[in-house]
Chains A and B, each alone.
Chain A
Amino acid sequence: SSELTQDPSVSVALGQTVRITCQGDGLRTAYASWYQRKPGEAPLLVLYGNNDRPSGIPDRFSASLSGTTASLTITGAQAEDEADYYCNCRDSSGNHVMFGGGTKLTVL
């Protein structure tokens, strides 16, 4: 498997719930991680493994996996959540990493 597919853009009303998806055959056997990238800033790891959050990431961020689709869910989206979100996982060799094309989240 050599590709992860994300929707280019998603929007959500302030305070509502939004799900960002990442689809790829590699997700059958590999974990996905999720990154938030705001303009002018480095990417920030927000979710990894089986729905784990690094220290400091709000618990409104959660992850799930169903078949070949990984999802990042923001429950009660805030204005500061507006950013690009990227998923990644290892490829079938286990020695390379691949990223999805990214999803631009707009909070209305």
Chain B
Amino acid sequence: QVQLVESGGGVVQPGRSLRLSCEVSGFTFRTYGMHWVRQAPGKGLEWVAVIWYDGSKKYYADSVEGRFTISRDNSKDTLFLQMNSLRGDDTAIYYCARDGISMLRGVSERLDVWGPGTTVTVSS
């Protein structure tokens, strides 16, 4: 069964860093692009970043560009999000999600499998 499980969330002070992980199972991870999406309290979904299936391309939302880095380890079926210089408005539930088209040398809007999310709270 296809499964994504995020971890690494927690409470962190403004300006500090945090690294999120997303372990996957039930499908061939190395053939799918992966996304991070977040939802701040009382707000809607916000796309954060995407990485191609082979890791060769990465794209970010303007709100996190230069502070966050998406990466993957295809040998360990794991996706990462390194978050630096965290701010209060980064407080959110962070979801990893699978791009719904395998072996796509691009990005699709079809996010067909999601993890349960991990909560990040940025507060002093």
Q: Mark A residues whose CB is within 8 Å of B.
A: 30-33, 35, 37, 41-45, 48-49, 54, 84, 86, 88-90, 94-102
Contact = CB atoms under 8 A, between A and B. Distances in A.
A86 to B, nearest CB: 5
Contact of A96 (B59, B97, B110, B111): B59
Contacts of B117: 42
Given A88-B109, A101-B44, A102-B44, 8 more contacts: A49-B110, A94-B106, A95-B59, A95-B107, A97-B109, A97-B111, A99-B37, A99-B46
17 contacts: A31-B109, A31-B110, A33-B109, A37-B45, A42-B115, A43-B97, A45-B110, A45-B114, A49-B110, A88-B45, A88-B109, A90-B107, A90-B109, A96-B61, A97-B50, A97-B109, A102-B44
A98 B44 CA distance: 11
Size bracket, chain B contacts: 20 to 34
A11 B62 CA distance: 34
Contacts, number: 74
> What 6 A-B pairs come out closest when comparing CB atoms?
A42-B114, A102-B44, A97-B47, A48-B110, A99-B45, A95-B59
A97 B46 CA distance: 9
B5 to A, nearest CB: 11
B59 A42 contact: no
A38 to B, nearest CB: 12
Nearest to B108: A90
Contacts of B61: 96
Contacts of A45: 100, 110-114
